[in-house]
Amino acid sequence: MSATIRQAAGRDAAQLAELAAVTFPLACPPGSNPDDIALYLEANLGQASFEQYLADPLRTIFVAEHDGALLAYTLLVSLPPSDADVAALLTGLPAVELSKCYAHPDHHGAGLAGRIMAASADCAFGQGAASLWLGVNNENARAVKFYGKHGFGIVGTKTFTLGTLVEEDFVMVRPAP
Ligand SMILES: CC(C)(COP(=O)(O)OP(=O)(O)OC[C@H]1O[C@@H](n2cnc3c(N)ncnc32)[C@H](O)[C@@H]1OP(=O)(O)O)[C@@H](O)C(=O)NCCC(=O)NCCS
């Protein structure tokens, strides 16, 4: 199977929301409250949110598509971090946030996530980013390993609030080549 990696467009919003509903729970630590996950999805990863992201010139979404189905997506955010802990950790400026990197579980371990990561990094660095950064739950060992394989190193931690739970994320950074 050879998926196409491309920048997303407005028509992708509904399918992106469907993919996010399948993949976001996989990034949450065991013990996360399903109601909190549902609320987060509704507030941040529904169709209306994706329509806003796709219309925002400071946000870029890449998708992997095969036979009309979206199999993976990334979201890049070209804004300074709002979290002071993150801002204090970043030295390569301007830094772009890899805010989302999610593949459908049927396609984990298939190289697809690596391809969409490469396209996203090329885009950010091609537009002048000095570094890419991301936050990843400290118990998400698969994702931490994946990011490590793709040039990211842990530089510190930040908190992530999901409902009433305050989680710890690793902050990982990949410098521009
Ligand atoms: C994170 C994600 C995009 C990575 O894509 P992927 O196709 O799974 O990544 P890869 O298989 O290339 O790399 C994962 C690595 O972790 C390893 N791994 C798998 N499970 C693991 C575990 N429980 N602990 C440690 N390593 C693990 C794999 O063996 C692989 O390493 P290898 O290439 O040396 O064999 C994908 O897993 C995903 O979408 N996960 C759910 C959503 C998520 O967590 N997104 C990140 C949010 S920050």
Q: Is pLDDT at 92 greater than 90 in this prediction? A: yes
76, β-bridge pairs: 60, 98
Q: Closest Cα to residue 168, out of 147, 154, 153?
A: 154
Count of other CB atoms within 10 angstroms of residue 52: 11
* pLDDT tens column, 34-80: 999 999 999 999 999 999 999 999 999 999 999 999 999 999 999 99
> What is the number of residues in the chain?
177
Atom of ligand 1 nearest to the CA of 109: 11
Ligand 1 atom 19: the closest Cα is on which residue?
142
Sheet holding 59-66, edge to edge: 4-7, 59-66, 69-77, 95-103, 131-137, 165-175, 153-162
Average pLDDT, the chain: 97
| C-alpha 142 to ligand 1 mean position (Å) | 4
